[in-house]
Structure 1
Amino acid sequence: MTEDRGGTAPVLVLRKFKQILESFTIEQPELTLQQITRSTGLPASTCQRLVHNLVREGFLDRYDDVYRVGLGLVRWAAPGTFGLDLVRLTRPVLQQLRDDTGETACLYVRDGAFRTVVSLAESRHPVIRLFVVGMVMPLHAGSAGKVFLAWDRLALKDAIGHGLGRFTPRTVTDIDLLNEQLARIREDGYASTFEERDLGAASLSAPVFDRNGDLAAAVGIGAPTQRMSPADVPALAPVVIAAAERASERLGYRPGTRSSSASPDFPNMVAARRRPADGL
């Protein structure tokens, strides 16, 4: 379709797509092409062409002669709706963690082989480790990333598939060593790392679980190494773990809840041992 000077043609197409998608309701989740055409009022040939395009792109699924909203569309929409609740519910926890430690507190979610900062409470120190909402980082370098690797069985597969790149001399790229660290992290209930992604940077993170016992996010603190060293881990780890537990509770998690998709050594977070991780 040729776009006119006002750029209205793409808008009209989007409007028609919207009409089609709005034909589906809770009461009528499955519709035939004839029902969609009747509901939208679009010409039959136009409706058929657009429905075919929506199926091809995953917005609709077809079963025999009926259509329903595609699983792809549901999957894309879910992070948005969940993310809003996640950020809103955990914001007080991040602020308290920042106040308790004096360092920037961040909340991360995973997307494939990467983790993204979705919320933060920034340190009031004049010298800080810089984080911004939307920052994307690898999983294998940094404490929050290792939380995902330790508690999400698909995360390690995604990270290895993408490649374990080296960012500093302390980045762990050996899979056997990484697996040893992840086993220790699961036992401890948290991860701490020093200069794995950036020189002069340290972090400490713990897992956040949802009501089903699935790993929902990672919460942690980041600081310059001049303020956070391996010697500080024994004092900071319980504070970060407690913040992760509060965040989990706010998402509906209860100790003992276990996801059927969790790894066999999925721990009860509250009962996890809390000893230093030797500056992983």
Structure 2
Amino acid sequence: MAEERGGTAPVLVLRKFKQILESFTIEEPELTLQQITRATGLPASTCQRLVHNLVREGFLDRYDDTYRVGLGLVRWAAPGTFGLDLVRLVRPVLHKLRDDSGETACLYVRDGAFRTVVSLAESRHPVIRLFVVGMVMPLHAGSAGKVFLAWDRLALRDAVGHGLARFTEHTIVDIDLLNQQLAQVRADGYASSFEERDLGAASLSAPVFGLTGELSAVIGIGAPTQRMTSADVPRLAPLVLDSAAAASERLGYRAGMARDVTG
């Protein structure tokens, strides 16, 4: 019986750690200790002790009286993406896009109503827009998300079903206006975004198609608005489009194979 208790206790602790980490969401990425306790249902003293342990080990970061998932945990999760064919094949394209544009280049995949950074090549500028592998963002705010919405009707369904939250005054939350923008994105072949998710942030993205013509990923660049404005789009868009075409080719795509999944 003692041996059984000894084997069970670590599992119970891990389950509590999991409860704490799962209390953080896209809508509420920062929580107070009281909010974590309420979300998990754990006793206050137990929750406080476990949270402090998670902070000490880098699983959570503390900012004044709030906590969020630690960047250390995101970094540790990054090797999980390195075995993906997509990441391995597109990595050279990301580095070239970073070198050609001077800005951070990112590769995204979709999961439901969200997009996740699975690979990146960070800008060498001293002032950058921060991205990390594993970073999760909504679809309707930002250029990469707009590309998913423009070429994948299931992505649009998931985003609208989840709700179009407003992050800044520039976030599009009206479905009719969003559909107008997506039609323009399809016509242009790329999307640009300025301060839709974060003030002072800009991005430009294009679709990456797979072997059978399906939308496999999105590639793009992100930068502070002090270096990227709407006036820079004509210069930067061809770089992003060329990179998207090169990434698609590395995945086996040939021009003209793209599926029409927007109807």
The verdict on a shared fold, with TM-score over 0.5 as the criterion, is yes
Q: TM-score, normalised by structure 2?
A: 0.70
1:149 corresponding residue in structure 2? 149
State the Cα distance separating 1:82 from its structure 2 match.
11
**Cα distance in 2, alignment partners of residues 248 and 82 from structure 1:** 18
Matched, 1:200 2:200: yes
Give CA deviations for 1:148-195 in whole Å, capped at 9, x if unaligned: 000011001000000000000000000000000000000000000000
Residues 1-280 of structure 1 mapped to structure 2, 5 A cutoff: 4-7=4-7, 84-259=84-259, 262-264=261-263
**Cα distance in 2, alignment partners of residues 118 and 81 from structure 1:** 6
Give CA deviations for 1:182-221 in whole Å, capped at 9, x if unaligned: 0000000000000000000000000000010000000000
State the Cα distance separating 1:5 from its structure 2 match.
3.5
**Cα distance in 2, alignment partners of residues 244 and 101 from structure 1:** 14
**Cα distance in 2, alignment partners of residues 219 and 84 from structure 1:** 16
**Cα distance in 1, alignment partners of residues 163 and 110 from structure 2:** 16
**Could you say which structure has the higher helix fraction?**
2
Q: Contact 1:94 / 1:105 at 8 angstroms: preserved in 2?
A: yes
Q: CA RMSD in A?
A: 2.3
Q: Contact 1:3 / 1:9 at 8 angstroms: preserved in 2?
A: no
**Cα distance in 2, alignment partners of residues 124 and 81 from structure 1:** 23
- Name the aligned partner's letter for residue 156 of structure 2: L
State the Cα distance separating 1:81 from its structure 2 match.
9.1
**Cα distance in 2, alignment partners of residues 136 and 230 from structure 1:** 25
Q: TM-score, normalised by structure 1?
A: 0.66
Give CA deviations for 1:50-99 in whole Å, capped at 9, x if unaligned: xxxxxxxxxxxxxxxxxxxxxxxxxxxxxx89970000000000000000
**Cα distance in 2, alignment partners of residues 161 and 99 from structure 1:** 38
Residues paired across the two proteins, number: 195
Closer/same/farther in 2, CA of residues 82 and 207 from structure 1, 3 Å limit: farther
1:36 corresponding residue in structure 2? none
**Cα distance in 1, alignment partners of residues 132 and 81 from structure 2:** 21
SS at 1:4's partner residue? helix
SS at 2:4's partner residue? coil
- Name the aligned partner's letter for residue 222 of structure 1: G
* Greater mean alpha carbon deviation, residues 82-91 or residues 101-110: 82-91
Task: List gaps (5 residues or longer) in structure 2.
Answer: 12-79
State the Cα distance separating 1:257 from its structure 2 match.
1.0
**Cα distance in 1, alignment partners of residues 193 and 158 from structure 2:** 20
- Name the aligned partner's letter for residue 98 of structure 1: R
**Cα distance in 1, alignment partners of residues 198 and 223 from structure 2:** 11
SS at 1:118's partner residue? strand
Q: Contact 2:82 / 2:88 at 8 angstroms: preserved in 1?
A: no
State the Cα distance separating 1:3 from its structure 2 match.
8.2
Q: Contact 1:143 / 1:193 at 8 angstroms: preserved in 2?
A: yes
